[in-house]
Amino acid sequence: MEYNVSVVGFGDNVVDIYTHSNKQYPGGNCVNFAVYAKMFGAKRSAYMGYFGSDDIAEFVISVLNELKLCIMKR
């Protein structure tokens, strides 16, 4: 179900890295808000924030692109 609502989460983004299992998960309160809003039917959902210039930042961006989340970065 889609709801006629648009949301934006702006602020932090982080990656939880579990070295023992070689897994990493993007997140942070603002990223999670935008992702879950999209998953639960928001018509438009976006994340706005600063990203680093390393592989971890590229990982977060790639996951958000896979989820078809609008990304506004500085």
What's the predicted TM-score (pTM) here? 0.87
Q: How many CA atoms lie within 13 A of 3 on its CB side?
A: 10
Tokens 């600063």 sit on residue? 50
pLDDT at 74 over 70: no
Average pLDDT over every residue of 46-72: 93
What is residue 71's predicted lDDT score, i.e. its pLDDT? Answer: 86
CA 60 to CA 51: how far, in whole Å? 9
For residue 52, report the phi and psi dihedrals to the nearest 5 degrees: -75, -175
Contact between residue 16 and residue 25 where contact means Cβ atoms under 8 Å apart: yes
